[in-house]
Amino acid sequence: MLSNPIRWPAPAKLNLFLYITGQRADGYHNLQTLFQFIDRCDYLTITPNKTGKITLSPALPDVPLESNLIYKAAMLLKEHAGCDLGAHIELEKNLPMGGGLGGGSSDAATTLVALNYHWQLNLDKAVLCKLGVTLGADVPIFIHGKAAIAEGVGEVLTSVQPKPAYYLVAIPSCHISTPSVFKNPDLKRDTKKLSHEQLMSNKWTNDCQPCVKKMYPEVANTIDWLLEYAPTQMTGTGACVFSTFDHASNAELLAKKTPKWLNCFTTKGLNISPLSELLTTKTD
Ligand SMILES: C[C@](O)(CO)[C@H](O)COP(=O)(O)OP(=O)(O)OC[C@H]1O[C@@H](n2ccc(N)nc2=O)[C@H](O)[C@@H]1O
Ligand SMILES: Nc1ncnc2c1ncn2[C@@H]1O[C@H](COP(=O)(O)OP(=O)(O)OP(=O)(O)O)[C@@H](O)[C@H]1O
């Protein structure tokens, strides 16, 4: 018997710090980064079927089906598990694309976790992470589902508990390609690797931010405007930036003050992802 349709969340993430500690022979960069989830999500409503096919609607503008990370994740899982079932996936896309909030990676992670459930494959998280990292460096953290320091290229995860926080997330109007930032010759690639204790107690910054500020004046203007009111920095390779607050009301107050050109939302930091929360209710 096939399971009923389920609406699965695919949350966004913030990189609360991001340091580049070196570059590997294959060009990928070694990182030390702190991931926390936020309560802003895409949603994937998944209906399993026996067609053997993966269908997805609506299509994303400028992303053909074969390039959509949801489709790629589903096909990868099907092939790995030798599964002859199919699924229809309805996507509610709320997260900006190419914004550094990890929406595409999160969609891929949710697809792997949800289809593993619907198709009753019983693959453990470690196997899903191994499959996931071939789709994107950020996929494993979304499968892991707990706030964590990520090392390696993003796949070596140690759960940590950053203190509860509220954020104003601003979305500058530019799309930034991750490879273009990592290819920039001015990028700082030699930050000293620190212990987790040192990382958690130091001031948090992002090694990509100076380069991105130079490349994209929209990002520079957004950070500079917000810094007048609250600690603010970029997430991932941009373009989104976040200001940090102890109380939701302070984030909301600042959101009300922002000028028209600054597109933003307020949100809460989460140390357990909404995907993990839902999965627990399904599997307990
Ligand atoms: C920088 C982060 O946003 C931090 O969360 C991510 O690590 C990027 O993850 P992502 O968007 O899933 O990136 P991927 O799709 O795996 O990689 C895109 C491109 O970024 C570069 N890249 C990515 C991750 C990494 N650790 N080193 C890299 O050099 C590579 O050129 C790669 O071809
Ligand atoms: N389901 C999907 N959702 C979003 N983007 C997708 C998806 N499938 C493929 N893509 C492609 O991946 C690119 C990056 O998407 P994403 O939203 O994950 O960027 P990001 O937030 O900058 O991620 P990161 O923080 O991991 O760098 C998009 O510009 C798009 O071309």
Distance from residue 137's CA to the centre of ligand 1 (Å): 5
Count how many domains the chain has: 2
Q: What is the pLDDT of residue 224?
A: 98
pLDDT in tens, 119-157: 999 999 999 999 999 999 999 999 999 999 999 988 899
Other beta carbons within 10 Å of 201: 10
Residues listed for the chain: 284
Spell out which residues line ligand 1, taking CB within 6 angstroms: 15, 27-29, 31, 33, 100, 105, 136-138, 153-154, 178-179, 182, 236-237
Same domain, 179 and 237: yes
Average pLDDT over residues 7-13: 98
DSSP annotation of 164: P
pLDDT for res 3: 84
Indicate if the pLDDT at residue 214 is higher than 80. Answer: yes
| Of 108, 138, 160, the domain-final residue | 160
Is residue 281 in some structural domain?
no
Catalytic residue check, 138: yes
- Picking from 160, 190, 205, the residue at the C-terminal end of a domain is 160
- Which residues are within 8 A (CB) of 180 and not within 5 positions of it... i.e. 6 or more apart? 215
Cβ–Cβ under 8 Å, residues 31 and 149? no
User: Cβ distance 68 to 54 under 8 Å?
Assistant: no
Helix (H, G, I), strand (E, B) or coil at 59: coil
Please give the structure tokens belonging to residue 71: 């489709």
Substitution site in 43, 56, 69 for ligand 2 pocket (most atoms within 8 Å of beta carbon): 69
Ligand 2 atom 7: the closest Cα is on which residue? 104
For the chain, the average pLDDT equals 96
CA distance 190 to 198: 17
User: Are residues 36 and 156 part of one domain?
Assistant: yes
Is 279 part of any domain? no
User: What average pLDDT score do residues 43-55 get?
Assistant: 98
pLDDT of residue 283: 82
Same domain, 151 and 219: no
User: Which H/E stretch holds residue 30?
Assistant: strand 29-49
- State the Cα–Cα distance between residues 227 and 221, nearest whole angstrom: 10
Domain boundary among 109, 126, 160: 160
CATH number at residue 214: 3.30.70.890
User: Which ligand is nearest to the Cα of residue 35, counting in written order?
Assistant: 1
Q: Which atom of ligand 1 is nearest to the CA of 178?
A: 20
List, for residues 73-115, the tens digit of each pLDDT value. Answer: 999 999 999 999 999 999 999 999 989 999 999 999 999 999 9
Q: Residue 276 falls within a domain, yes or no?
A: no
pLDDT of the residue at 195: 98
For the residues 205-228, what does the mean pLDDT come to? Answer: 97
Whether residue 175 has pLDDT greater than 90 = no
Tell me, what's the ipTM? 0.94
Ligand nearest to the CA of 42: 2
* CATH number reported for the structural domain that contains residue 149 in this entry: 3.30.230.10
* Amino acid 176: pLDDT: 92
* DSSP character at residue 138: T
229 lies in the same domain as 184: yes
Residue 82, phi then psi, degrees to nearest 5: 60, 40
Q: What are phi and psi of 245, to 5 degrees?
A: -140, 155
Tens digits of residue pLDDT in 255-284: 999 999 999 999 999 999 999 999 999 987
Confidence band for 164, pLDDT divided at 50, 70 and 90: confident
Are 102 and 188 in the same domain? no
- The rounded distance, in Å, linking the Cα atoms of 6 and 48 is 9
Q: In the Cβ-directed half-sphere of 23, how many Cα atoms lie within 13 Å?
A: 11
**Is residue 209's pLDDT more than 90?**
yes
The verdict on whether 146 is a catalytic residue reads: no
Does 221 fall in a domain? yes
What average pLDDT does range 33-57 have in this prediction? 98
Do the Cβ atoms of 147 and 271 come closer than 8 Å?
A: yes
pLDDT digit string (tens) for 236-253?
999 999 999 999 999 999
Does pLDDT of 1 surpass 80?
Answer: no
Contacts of 42 (CB under 8 A, 6+ apart): 9, 10, 91, 92, 93, 94, 95, 103, 106, 107, 110
Domain that holds residue 220: 166-270
158: its two tokens: 């140690």
Secondary structure element (H or E) that encloses residue 144, with its range: helix 139-144
Please state, in angstroms and rounded to a whole number, the distance separating the CA atoms of residues 267 and 148.
19
Count of Cβ atoms closer than 10 Å to residue 70 Cβ:
25
Judge whether 22 is annotated as a binding position: no
